[in-house]
Every structure is written in C-alpha cells, then in structure tokens.
C-alpha cells in the first residue's frame, strides 16, 4: 500500500495566483507518465508539433485559439482539446488565457522547435 | 504527420448534459495511454484501490469528498487531486457532483473490487 502522505489537493485558481509569466508552464501534479501543468498564455506561440506525445489543453479562464495547418479550433472556458502527436499547432491567446495542460513528462513546450519560448526546466508550484 | 481530421474540441458542460446516470464514467477523449472521462457522482462509492494506476479527479461542479484510510480530502469546484496507485480511497458525494477523471485506459472504476458499481465497458460520448 502506497503512503497517502504526499497526497495534496490542488486548487487551480490558487495555483494560478502564484505566477504571472506567460508561456512558462508550471507543474502542479504528476500521475502515471504524465505531468499536469498550468500555464498563462498571451499572444502568439510558435508553430510546433510533438513527435511522440499527445497533448491536452483545457481552458480554465479566457479563450484560446489553436491554429492547425488546415483549420482553427477556438476553445472557451470549460472546453478541452487533445492534439495528437505529429499534428502541427499554433496556440494563440489574444487576451490572457489560463490553461491546464496534460502531457507526458518528456514533453518540451515547443516540441520539435527550439525558440526563445522553449522552457527546458519547468518549475513546480 | 498525423491527420488532424479526428481532432474535435470537447465542451465539458455539453458532454455532461448527455447523461444523467451516476457512477458510470463516460469516455470523452484519449491521449497517450490514458482516457479522459466524465462522471456524475451521488452518494457513496466503494472502498477500492488501483494496483498500478494513478487517478486524477477534477471537480467540475459540486463538491466531492475522497475518504482515505487516514484522512479525508474535500474537493470543491476547480480543485483536483491525484490518488496514487495502491492508495485505498472512497469517493462520496452528498449532493450530485460532476467530475473529470484522467486515468490509464486499463483502469477499472472499482479498482481491485468487483461490485454492482463495477462498469467494465465504458461508453464513449
């Protein structure tokens, strides 16, 4: 039986109040091979894809446009989308958006692309 | 490059409007080795654990008590908890609660226990 000592609930709003930088996902939990992350987005990210990782975006606050090569997906609060591995995408938030991400621990935020937006070492909050 | 044809956004509220039964998780997405599920809970579940799977509960509406053997965790809307593999837990919702679950595709809702609450074949909505 695993110890339950390490189990702590996570308030999304409380965690989101702890940071204000954009495009820098913070780890708020881990399960199986994945991390649960929170991120604040504003502006346009970079086109990228993840070779071997599917990625979930759930909008907590605001709205998020995810541009694909052949169409756009507009997410509002309480909406999620899963971007399968290999699919190029470009997240855009015209106003600040708060987003929960779920993805394998191996996932780099900019996927196959290295840019000034790349965050190699994520903070845990 | 994977096709983007299958990518569809999921509105949690809309999906939750499609069913009313309790303790019967519906699959609303899959990524990597996991399923994203929505479930409506009311009343008391059964004590159980999952041998090899960590499980995430995120409360979308209402509140959820997760009883552990040594303490209770009370989750409100916008709060999540990850129950690691091996940890016995008993979900209780005194009023109806709407919950997002994230867990490996192999996960059985009642874990190590077989009961009238066991749902072997989950519906996709």
Q: Going by C-beta distance under 8 Å and a sequence separation of 6 or more, which residues neighbour residue A17? A: none
Average pLDDT, chain B: 94
CA distance A29 to B77: 17
pLDDT attached to residue B116: 87
Strand partners, A93: A43
* pLDDT above 70 for B2: no
How many angstroms separate the CA atoms of A88 and A96, rounded?
22
The pLDDT, as a whole number, for residue B66 is 98
The count of C-alpha atoms lying within 13 angstroms of the C-alpha of B105, restricted to the half-sphere facing its C-beta, is 8
Task: Quick: pLDDT tens for B73-114.
Answer: 999 999 999 999 999 999 999 999 999 999 999 888 999 888
Residue of chain A minimizing CA distance to B58: A10
Inter-chain contact A33–B33, Cβ cutoff 8 Å? yes
Provide the β-strand partners of residue B55: B83
pLDDT of B3: 66
Q: Cα dist. B15→A36, A77, A111, B38, B70 in Å? A: 22, 14, 30, 8, 35
The pLDDT tens digits for A52-61 are: 999 999 999 9
Q: How high is the pLDDT of residue A81?
A: 98
> CB B69 to CB A4 under 8 A?
yes
Residue B53 with chain A: CB contacts under 8 Å: 32
Residue A31, beta-bridge partner list: A34
pLDDT of residue A60: 98
Distances (CA, A) of A114 to A4, A93, A120: 39, 20, 10
Q: How far apart are CA B91 and CA B54, in angstroms?
A: 15
Of A1, A4, A76, A104, which to mutate for an interface test with B (greatest number of B Cβ within 10 Å)? A4
Per-residue pLDDT of chain A (125 residues), as tens digits, is 556 778 999 999 999 999 999 999 999 999 999 999 999 999 999 999 999 999 999 999 999 999 999 999 999 999 999 999 999 999 999 999 999 999 999 888 988 888 888 998 899 99
Sequence-distant (6+) residues with CB within 8 A of B38 are: B12, B15, B16, B25, B26, B28, B60, B98, B99, B100, B101, B125
| Nearest residue to A8 (alpha-carbon basis) of B74, B39, B63 | B74
- Contact call for residues A81 and B7 (beta carbons, < 8 A): yes
pTM of this structure? 0.94
Collect all residues of chain A within an 8 Å Cβ-Cβ radius of residue B10.
79-81
Query: Region B11-24: what's the mean pLDDT?
Result: 97
Best B3, B15, B31, B74 member to test A by mutation, with max A CBs in 10 Å, is B31
Picking from B44, B36, B20, the residue whose alpha carbon sits closest to that of residue B117 is B44
Q: What is the pLDDT of residue A56?
A: 97
C-alpha torsion sign, points B66, A58, B41, B53:
negative
pLDDT at A91: 97
Write the DSSP assignment of B82-104 as a string of letters: EE-TT--EEEEEEEEEEEEEEEE
The pLDDT confidence band at residue B20, using thresholds 50, 70 and 90, is very high
For residue B55, the model assigns a pLDDT of 97
């Amino acid at each position: 039986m695993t110890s339950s000592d390490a189990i702590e609930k996570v308030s999304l709003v409380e965690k989101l109040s702890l940071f204000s930088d954009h495009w820098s996902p913070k780890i708020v939990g881990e399960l199986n091979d994945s991390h649960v992350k929170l991120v604040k987005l504003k502006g346009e990210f970079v086109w990228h894809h993840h070779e071997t990782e599917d990625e979930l975006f759930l909008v907590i606050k605001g709205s998020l446009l995810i541009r694909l090569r052949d169409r756009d997906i507009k997410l509002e609060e309480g909406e999620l989308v899963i971007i399968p591995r290999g699919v190029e995408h470009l997240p855009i938030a015209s106003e600040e958006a708060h987003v929960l991400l779920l993805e394998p621990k191996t996932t780099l935020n900019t996927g196959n692309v290295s840019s000034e937006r790349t965050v190699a070492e994520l903070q845990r909050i």
